[in-house]
Structure 1
Amino acid sequence: MDSRAFLDFLKVAERLKCNTRHSYTSSGRHESVAEHSWRLTVMAYFMQDEFPEADIDKVIKMCMFHDMGEAITGDIPAFEKTSADSDNENHVMEELLDTLPEPYRTDLKDLFAEMEALETLEAKIYKALDKLEALIQHNEADLSTWIPLEYDLQMTYGTEECSFSEYMKSLRDMVREDSRKKADMDK
């Protein structure tokens, strides 16, 4: 890759360190999009024993790049995101990928199309982990950072995305139980 194209893409990627999410860290500060993507990537790495038939390197790549559009749009919490927001994020992502040389442009466009279609095992793993990471982060944050609708979201969010696998369903159930215990501590 041309050095200037490489540095230009990294400049955009750096914004993920600055753009914060709705979630808080255990130390009480807003989590960055980059931090979410990093831990999601760590989670994917540890899925290789549970899904030996999956291309875990591809799942890791999905986790690394899935929120790249948020470097430009910023993060919009799932409970506020509209289809227009998603369309805009997809549009800016398409424009960003168009700045890349081949083979990176085609490789990442194909990866995003696969993630969007949610038909492959790899895309399903990535999507389930993406939902679970947000839930786990909420469980690790102080309960005072939860807004009222999150008590329900912690019980329901990600259930459908985890339903493709017994392991993911079990993991989702464990996260739900952790949420229940955390919420009960407030009473």
Structure 2
Amino acid sequence: MNPEQLIEFLGVLEKLKCNTRHNWTTNGRQESVAEHSWRLAVLAMLMEEDFPELNMNKVIRMCLIHDWGEAVTGDIPAFIKTEADEEKEADAIETLLKNLPETISSGFLTMFKEMSDLTSDEAILVKALDKIETLIQHNESGSGAWLPLEYDLNLTYGNEVCGHFEKTQQLRDKVREHTLRIINEERREHRE
């Protein structure tokens, strides 16, 4: 890849540092898409021993690229994202990858298709961990940053895909326990 192409492509991806998500950090600022993707990749890396049958290098790569379309579209929270939004993001990814040499873009396109269609255990794991990381961040920021609908959503979000693997189900259950603790503490504070 020539240096000019590389610099231009990184310039587009830089928007992932600027584009914020619905999540908040513990110090009260909105999380960037890049921060979410980074921590998702770290989560996958830390769980590598739990999935010896999977290609965890591929999983980590998928984690790092899974939100590239949001460099163009920005983040749309899952609870308001439509099929049209999904298509717009898929188009953004295709357009973005056209700026790369075919030898590089074809591999990324294959991974995006795999993630979109959930056709491999690696893609399913990325989807499950993506939802879990989001919920962990919600819990870390505390209920003061939650919308009313998130009290229920934080208890059910990702349940289906997390059940695919025993380890993600266990982690999802633990995150739900943390969510319930936050909700119960808030209720207790309101009664006092």
Which TM class, normalised by the smaller chain length?
over 0.9
Partner of 2:190: none
The answer as to whether partners of 1:59 and 1:126 remain within 8 angstroms in 2 is: yes
Count of residues in correspondence between the two structures? 187
Q: 1:137 matched to which residue of 2? A: 137
- 1:114/1:123 contact within 8 Å kept: yes
Q: Is the 8 A contact 1:72 1:92 kept in 2?
A: yes
Displacement after TM superposition at 1:186 (Å): 0.7
Deviations 1:8-32 (A, max 9, x none): 1100110000000000001111000
**CA–CA separation in structure 1 for the residues paired with 2:77 and 2:53:** 32
Aligned to 1:78: 78
Deviation of the 1:176 alpha carbon? 0.3
C-alpha distance in 1 between matches for 2:9 and 2:38: 18
SS at match of 2:102: coil
TM-score (norm 1): 0.98
Residue equivalent to 1:62: 62
Read off the aligned partner of 2:28 and give its amino acid letter.
G
Letter in 1 for 2:84: A
Q: What is the CA–CA distance in structure 1 between the aligned matches of 2:55 and 2:25, rounded to whole Å?
A: 30
- Give the gaps of 5 or more residues in structure 2: 188-192
Q: Which residue of 1 aligns with 2:98?
A: 98
Give the SS at the match of 1:103: helix
Which residue of the partner structure matches residue 149 of structure 1?
149
Task: Confirm or deny: 8 A CA contact 1:28 1:142 kept in the other structure.
Answer: no
The sequence identity of aligned pairs, in percent, is 51
Deviations 1:24-68 (A, max 9, x none): 001111000000000000011012111001110100110000000
Deviation of 1:104 (Å): 0.9
1:144 is paired with a residue whose SS is helix
Quote the Cα distance in structure 1 between the aligned partners of 2:46 and 2:55.
Answer: 12
- 1:91 counterpart SS class: helix
Deviation at 1:102, TM superposition (A): 2.8
Write the deviation string for residues 87-131 of structure 1: whole angstroms up to 9, x where unpaired. Answer: 000001101111110311101001101111212111011000000
Question: Following the alignment from structure 1 to structure 2, what is the Cα–Cα distance between the partners of residues 99 and 123?
Answer: 24
Structure 1 residues without counterparts, runs of 5 or longer? none
Which 4+ stretches in 1 moved above 4 angstroms?
none
Q: What amino acid is the match of 1:156?
A: T
Q: Deviations over 1:144-187 (max 9, x none)?
A: 10010000011100101111111111110000000000111111
Cα deviations across residues 131-152 of structure 1 (Å, max 9, x unaligned)?
0010000000032100100000
